[in-house]
Amino acid sequence: MSPQMRRLRIVHVVYSFAIGGLENVIVQLINRLPTDRFEHVVLSLTTISAFKERIQVPGVQFIELKKAPGHAIPLYPRIYRLLRQLRPDVVHSCNLAALEIAPLSWLARVPLRVHAEHGWDAHDPQGANPRYRRLRRFYKPFVSHFVAVSQDIDRYLGEAVKLAPERHSWIANGVDTRVFAPAEGPPALVPGCPFDPQQHWMVGTVGRLQTVKNQPLLARAFVQLLQDHPELAARARLVLVGEGPLRGEVEAVLQQAGLAHLAWLAGARDDVAAIMALLRCFVLPSQAEGTSCTLQEAMACGLPVVATAVGGTPELVHHGRSGLLVPPDEAQEMAQAIWRCYAEPGLGEALGHSAREQALAHFNIDVMVQRYQSIFLQQPHGQGEQV
């Protein structure tokens, strides 16, 4: 780095920093952006979990504001002072909950304000909520550039938020296809897993146990699968990785069916790639999605995928070629799709092979990082619309 160059400081603003796809994108950006060009601050409106340990770059500053439920207005003076103190070159906010920071960033004279939309939540699974559309339109003059993680969201930004084409970009999430890859030989045993990959056929999912991810649907589909094919009880096992408020509902579904002993609710884990290697089928039961990182990871592992046809998922999973798509909230159809992956090994193998090829061609994490870097390095820094 020449004496005339200095590192650009990026402040990544999130509602919370815990295990999740959005947070994983930030981790990958921090770990992979050139350290001689960038330095980073993670600013969470609420809390920061041990997930931050996945960041390998030294010197990253973490700030948690511990915001109470509701609007962040009481924190505005503190946030403004923080931004004036930190003097970032870029504020990178993520999802609607962090978008209200954009006017403060503009007021604090942050040169570049990038906002990324990673997907919808349970209150607005199709992006149709008029209030949320109005909020995005209200805040858009304070944002220099918007990023969408799926074509579905990118279309929304253009059509519903009325952004000019040059003010928004589609950048698909990336996955490390070296870490997430098909298992070579028999999968290794995973600490804590009560099942044997040599004896059991495991189907599962990875994600926060929260409404929008809808893991109870997978639990109901698993129950339906064994009701339709009781002989599967000797082999089929359910694996759910993640923690959250839906854990009790998932447990209740399984207990009421007398199948709790056939499921492993693994909680939050740091060894997702190793657990993926145990699975024979990956299921994404979400009510809404942008671009699911765990879905991309499963495809990179060469797993046949069953997923609900919501949000950006049909852009990733080509029905009948790289996976099977089912309607949301339809346990019977999901159970039938899982059964096909079990009963037709040739189909499962073909779906998994195609999914892996698609991941190699389109989910390159280096491309994702390079595209974000090009936006963070915009010169001169954009000023959004006239305010």
Write down the mean pLDDT value for the chain: 92
pLDDT confidence of residue 189 = 86
Q: What is the mean pLDDT of residues 347-362?
A: 95
pLDDT confidence of residue 188 = 83
Distance of CA 256 to the CA centre of its chain: 31
Q: What is the mean pLDDT of residues 170-180?
A: 92
- Every domain of the chain and the residues it spans: 8-174+365-376, 201-362
Question: In this predicted model, what pLDDT tens digit does every residue of 19-34 receive, in sequence order?
Answer: 888 899 999 999 999 9
Residue 189: DSSP 8-state: P
pLDDT confidence of residue 349 = 96
pLDDT confidence of residue 382 = 44
Q: How confident is the model at residue 125 (pLDDT cuts 50, 70, 90)?
A: low
Rounded distance, CA 73 to CA 53, Å? 30
Q: What is the mean pLDDT of residues 36-56?
A: 95
Q: Which residue has the tokens 């409106």?
A: 45
Q: Does the domain at residues 8-174+365-376 carry the CATH identifier 3.40.50.2000?
A: yes
Indicate the CATH number of 201-362 among 3.40.50.2000, 3.30.60.50, 3.90.1150.10, 2.70.98.40. Answer: 3.40.50.2000
CB 51 within 8 A of CB 17: yes
Q: How confident is the model at residue 383 (pLDDT cuts 50, 70, 90)?
A: low
Rounded distance, CA 104 to CA 84, Å? 10
Rounded distance, CA 350 to CA 130, Å? 42
Q: How confident is the model at residue 156 (pLDDT cuts 50, 70, 90)?
A: very high
The CA-atom distances, in angstroms, between 200 and each of 263, 293, 346 are 11, 26, 18
Rounded distance, CA 310 to CA 91, Å? 30
Q: What is the mean pLDDT of residues 53-74?
A: 93
Phi, psi of 264 (to 5 degrees): -120, 110
CB 119 within 8 A of CB 291: yes
Q: How many CB atoms lie within 10 A of CB 141?
A: 14
Q: What is the mean pLDDT of residues 164-184?
A: 92
Rounded distance, CA 170 to CA 355, Å? 21
Confidence check: pLDDT of 99 > 70:
yes
Rounded distance, CA 140 to CA 115, Å? 9
Q: What is the mean pLDDT of residues 105-114?
A: 97
pLDDT confidence of residue 122 = 63
The CA-atom distances, in angstroms, between 204 and each of 198, 259, 278 are 16, 15, 9
Contacts of 277 (CB under 8 A, 6+ apart): 183, 187, 188, 197, 301
Burial of 238 (0-12, 13-18, 19+ CB in 10 A): buried
Longest dimension (CA), the chain: 71
pLDDT confidence of residue 372 = 97
**Residue whose C-alpha is closest to residue 287's, from 202, 218, 333:** 218
Rounded distance, CA 384 to CA 113, Å? 8
Confidence check: pLDDT of 2 > 60:
no
3 state DSSP class of 237: strand
Question: In this predicted model, what pLDDT tens digit does every residue of 201-260 receive, in sequence order?
Answer: 999 999 989 898 999 999 999 999 999 999 999 999 999 999 999 999 999 999 999 999
Q: What is the mean pLDDT of residues 259-268?
A: 97
3 state DSSP class of 203: strand
Contacts of 13 (CB under 8 A, 6+ apart): 43, 44, 45, 91, 92, 93, 94, 98, 101
CB 238 within 8 A of CB 262: yes
pLDDT confidence of residue 387 = 46
Q: What is the mean pLDDT of residues 58-83?
A: 94
Structure tokens at 235: 């082999």
CB 212 within 8 A of CB 288: yes
For residue 240, list its beta bridge partners.
205, 265
Rounded distance, CA 287 to CA 330, Å? 11
**Helices 365-376 and 21-32, interaxial angle, to 10°?**
70
Contacts of 207 (CB under 8 A, 6+ apart): 21, 213, 215, 241, 242, 284, 286, 292, 294
User: Residues of the chain with pLDDT > 90: what percent?
Assistant: 80
pLDDT confidence of residue 386 = 44
Confidence check: pLDDT of 288 > 60:
yes
Confidence check: pLDDT of 59 > 60:
yes
pLDDT confidence of residue 378 = 86
CB 76 within 8 A of CB 98: no
pTM of the model: 0.80
Contacts of 380 (CB under 8 A, 6+ apart): none
Cis bond leading into 380, ω under 30°?
yes
